[in-house]
C-alpha cells in the first residue's frame, strides 16, 4: 500500500465529485470510518455508520450524492457519488496488493487425462489438480491446486475453481463461474428407500448445472440430481456452508447466505434472497423476488414477492408480530386474574341482591 494520489485524481478514479477539500491534498491509504487515520480515504456504505462521519480521523470520504454536508466532520474532504460502497472498489484496487497474475500452463504435478480438451496457452492448472477423462475447459479457466474435476465435467470460459474444490462427474458449468475452496459440486443426493428395515441407496445419476456468472462460497455442497439436473441459474450467488439438495432449481440472480439449506426438488424463481441459516423443505415452489430473513423455516410454497420471516415463515409484519406476541401473555394473565376476581365479587353481590 505504498501508492498515493491527489484528491482530484481520486475523485476522477471513482467517478465522483469533490465537494469539500483541496484538490491537491494527497491520499496515501484507505480504511473503514472507525479505523481510518490522517491521509486515509474511507466511505459511508451504510446509514448506520452515519455518526462515525463526525468522528472519523480520515482525510476524505466517499459519500452519497445527497449527503447533508453538516453530517460530516469539519475538514473532512467529501467525494460525492451514487454508490460509495461500489465506488470504493476502485480505491481498493488502487491501494490494494497486486492481484495474483494469470499464469497459463499446466503444473508438472497436475494429473490431466490425455483426452481433456483445453488450450494450454489459455488455461491454468495448478499443482496436484486432477482432471479426469472427458473434461472440457473453456479459455481463461483457472484450476487451482488440489482441485478435482471428475469424468466429463465441462467448464465454460474464465471459470475459477479454487484450491481443493471438487466437481464430480458430468457436471456442467457456464462461463465465469467462481467456486471457492472446499466446496463439493455433484456429490450424490441423499435418497434412500426403506426396504426390510434397511435404507437402500437410490442411484443418483443426474448432474449439477451451474449457469454463467454464478459464484459459490467455501465448503458449500450442491448435490447431483437423482436424474436430470440440479440447476443454479445465471448470476446467482451462494455463500459458504450452504446445502442445496438434489434436483433443486435456483432461478437467476438469487442470493443464498451462509449455512442455509434447501431440501431436494425445491424450485426458486429469480431474485430470491435467503438470509443465513434459513431452512427450506423439499418439493416447494418459491416465487420471484421472495426474500427470507435469517433463520426462517420454510414449510410451504410461497408465490408472492416480498419479505418473510419466522418458523413457519410468514409475511414479514405478521412473522415479526408472531415473535413479539408471547411477551404480551404475562399482562394478559394478570388482567384475566383481575377479571375473575371482580366477577366473583359481582356474582356474590348478584346472589345477595
291 touches a copy of itself (CB under 8 A): no
252 φ/ψ angles, rounded to the nearest 5 degrees: -85, 145
Least distance between a copy of itself and beta carbon 91 (Å): 9
Report 207-236 residues binding a copy of itself (CB under 8 A).
Answer: 213, 215, 217-221, 223, 226-228, 235
Query: Out of 55, 97, 103, 114, which residue is the one contacting a copy of itself (CB under 8 A)?
Result: 97
* 3-class secondary structure per residue, 258-326: CCCEECCCCEECCCCEECCCCEECCCCEECCCEEECCCCEECCCECCCEEEECCCCEEHHHHHHHHHHH
Least distance between a copy of itself and beta carbon 340 (Å): 7
Report 149-208 residues binding a copy of itself (CB under 8 A).
Answer: 150-152, 162-164, 166, 168-170, 180-184, 187-188, 190, 192-193, 195, 197-203, 205
Report 52-81 residues binding a copy of itself (CB under 8 A).
Answer: none
**Where does residue 291 rank: exposed (0-12), middle (13-18), buried (19+ CB within 10 A)?**
middle
- For residues 199 and 189, the answer to whether their CB atoms sit within 8 Å is no
Question: What grid cell was written down for 256?
Answer: 443464498
Least distance between a copy of itself and beta carbon 26 (Å): 19
Report 304-343 residues binding a copy of itself (CB under 8 A).
Answer: 311-312, 321-323, 325-330, 332-333, 335-336, 339-340, 342-343
The β-bridge partners of 6 are 26
103 touches a copy of itself (CB under 8 A): no
Count the neighbouring beta carbons within 10 Å of the beta carbon of residue 219.
15
Nearer to a copy of itself, 69 or 338 (CB): 338
**Site track 34-53 with a copy of itself (rule: CB under 8 A), x = hit:** -x----------x-x-----
Nearer to a copy of itself, 102 or 192 (CB): 192
- For residues 309 and 292, the answer to whether their CB atoms sit within 8 Å is yes
31 touches a copy of itself (CB under 8 A): yes
| Alpha-carbon gap, residue 210 to 231, rounded angstroms | 6
Kind of pairing, strands 17-20 and 77-81? antiparallel
The residues carrying an active-site annotation are 246
Amino acid at each position: 500500500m505504498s501508492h498515493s494520489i491527489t484528491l482530484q485524481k481520486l475523485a476522477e478514479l471513482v467517478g465522483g465529485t469533490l465537494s469539500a477539500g483541496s484538490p491537491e491534498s494527497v491520499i496515501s491509504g484507505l480504511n473503514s470510518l472507525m479505523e481510518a487515520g490522517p491521509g486515509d480515504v474511507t466511505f459511508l456504505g451504510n446509514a448506520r455508520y452515519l455518526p462515525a462521519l463526525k468522528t472519523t480521523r480520515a482525510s476524505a470520504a466517499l459519500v452519497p450524492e445527497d449527503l447533508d454536508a453538516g453530517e460530516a466532520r469539519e475538514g473532512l474532504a467529501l467525494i460525492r457519488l451514487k454508490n460509495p460502497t461500489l465506488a470504493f472498489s476502485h480505491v481498493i484496487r488502487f491501494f490494494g496488493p497486486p492481484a495474483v497474475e494469470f499464469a497459463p500452463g499446466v503444473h508438472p504435478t497436475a494429473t490431466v487425462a490425455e483426452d481433456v480438451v483445453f488450450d494450454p496457452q489459455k488455461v491454468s492448472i495448478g499443482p496436484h489438480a486432477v482432471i479426469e477423462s472427458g473434461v472440457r475447459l473453456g479459455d481463461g479457466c483457472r484450476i487451482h491446486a488440489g482441485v478435482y474435476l471428475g469424468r466429463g465435467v465441462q467448464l465454460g470460459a474464465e471459470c475459477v475453481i479454487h484450491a481443493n474444490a471438487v466437481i464430480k462427474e458430468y457436471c456442467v458449468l457456464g462461463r465465469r463461474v467462481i467456486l471457492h475452496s472446499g466446496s463439493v459440486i455433484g456429490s450424490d443426493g441423499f435418497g434412500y428407500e426403506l426396504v426390510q428395515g434397511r435404507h437402500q441407496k437410490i442411484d443418483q445419476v443426474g448432474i449439477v448445472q451451474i449457469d454463467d456468472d454464478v459464484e459459490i462460497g467455501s465448503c458449500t455442497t450442491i448435490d447431483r440430481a437423482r436424474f436430470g439436473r440440479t440447476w443454479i441459474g445465471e448470476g446467482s450467488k451462494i455463500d459458504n456452508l450452504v446445502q442445496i439438495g438434489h434436483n433443486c432449481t435456483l432461478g437467476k440472480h438469487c442470493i443464498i447466505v451462509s449455512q442455509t439449506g434447501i431440501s431436494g426438488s425445491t424450485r426458486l424463481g429469480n431474485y430470491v434472497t435467503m438470509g443465513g441459516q434459513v431452512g427450506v423443505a423439499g418439493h416447494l415452489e418459491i416465487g420471484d423476488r421472495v426474500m427470507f430473513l435469517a433463520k426462517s423455516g420454510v414449510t410451504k410454497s410461497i408465490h408472492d414477492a416480498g419479505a418473510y420471516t419466522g418458523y413457519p415463515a410468514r409475511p414479514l409484519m405478521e412473522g415479526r408480530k408472531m415473535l413479539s406476541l408471547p411477551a404480551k401473555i404475562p399482562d394478559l394473565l394478570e388482567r384475566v386474574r383481575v377479571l375473575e376476581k371482580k366477577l366473583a365479587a359481582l356474582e356474590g353481590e348478584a346472589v345477595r341482591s
